[in-house]
Amino acid sequence: MSIPAPRTTALELPVAGTAVTYHGSMTEHQDGRFLLFPHYSIFSTGEHDAYDCEDLNDRSTLVGFGSYLTLNHVRPASFTADTGIWWPQDAIDITRDGYVYKVSHTLPGGGPHSRVIAFHAADGRLLRDWARLHGIDSDILRRLDERGLTRADQQTFAVPAPRAS
């Protein structure tokens, strides 16, 4: 299944951290396993000069499965998303930048509408990103903050194996 360009409803949006297989024009990376992220993400290098394209909004950033190898400006037709559910059942969906993030908890700090969120990726990593959370229910933010307090002393976080959808 190919990931479409971001849409307006959460049910149709791609999930950040989804496992994908690359089959684009860079032959050295073909059949490589990557994680899907918005084009402008914490992993994007911002090197736009090397690419001859006017509109990068439909592009994605792919990060190597279990590594930090990064492919920027990737067209949706250049990768295929894996199927299945890989995030924990108690993950909370936060929508931002045209993607759904499967959030575990927040980290200390932030303000009323901004936090450092910890979110799950399909390769088992728990990643972090700064997020402006406008429009997020205060009860959800409070719950994520409370989870962060209870997980602050843990070094690693277990992510269940993928299960059939």
Residue with the bigger pLDDT between 132 and 92: it is 92
What is the C-alpha separation between 136 and 94, in angstroms, rounded?
A: 8
What are the tens digits of pLDDT across the range 57-109? 688 899 999 888 999 889 999 999 998 888 999 999 998 878 899 999 998 87
Q: What percent of the chain has pLDDT over 70?
A: 73
Summarize the confidence of residues 9-23 as an average pLDDT.
Answer: 82
Position 3 scores a pLDDT of 41
Q: How many other CB atoms are there within 10 angstroms of residue 107's CB atom?
A: 16
Closest CA to 22 of 6, 35, 5: 35
Q: What is the pTM of this model?
A: 0.74
Summarize the confidence of residues 41-54 as an average pLDDT.
Answer: 51
Rg (CA), the chain: 16
Summarize the confidence of residues 147-161 as an average pLDDT.
Answer: 56
Sign of the torsion formed by the C-alpha atoms of 86, 74, 105 and 121: positive
What is the C-alpha separation between 164 and 145, in angstroms, rounded?
A: 30
Position 44 scores a pLDDT of 56
